[in-house]
Amino acid sequence: MRKVLRSMHKINVPVLTWRYHRWWSWAYKIRSGNEVVGTVHLHWKSGYTSQSLASSGDGRWVFERHWRPFLFPPYKPIRIFAAESGSQVAVYKFIRKEYTLASTAEGVLMFPDGREFLFDADFWTNYYWKPTNIEEKPLLSFRPKLPVFLTYSGRIEIDPNAFSLPEFPLLVLFGCYLSIGVRSGK
């Protein structure tokens, strides 16, 4: 039986944490203090495809990513599905990735109703993902604890305006997935 998680809309704290939970299953837990409010399980589906399950009290989603070896860019868009119905709820497209000394990545999370959230990452100076609204005001900041190549734990700093967004739980889970999943290759 699955433990029922509290809705992320009901947690009104400025910081959440995420931590590697089970080394054998690539499971991460997102916490508000001692309470678990979300989980992200990374795993390969087959060959060059990964399907990760993210859960909160607000719903469950599947993040599906395809990798294309020997092609540039190597990543196709990440598709997000509702776990129960299998319907696509959003898509994330990488729009820029630079492999330089000041390496950065950028992508946009797009919903069918036209809402978009920009995810920006700076890998060398401050390794973190930062989703913003279309006006580019930061909503969340995902900061892994150093050393970043291990990505076992981190913190999520939340702007108070983010709590009112209907997409807030999905933004938290997907940002956590980007922080741990894209870096680990899953």
- pLDDT of amino acid 70: 62
Q: Report the percent of the chain where pLDDT is more than 70.
A: 75
Contacts with 127 (C-beta within 8 Å, 6 or more apart), sequence order:
121, 143, 144, 148
- pLDDT of amino acid 125: 47
How many Å apart are CA 50 and CA 44, to the nearest integer? 4
pLDDT tens profile 10-69: 888 999 998 887 666 678 899 999 999 999 988 777 777 888 999 999 999 999 988 766
pLDDT tens profile 100-126: 544 556 788 999 999 998 888 765 545
- Domain residue limits, the chain: 15-184
The continuous run of DSSP H or E covering 184 comes out as helix 183-184
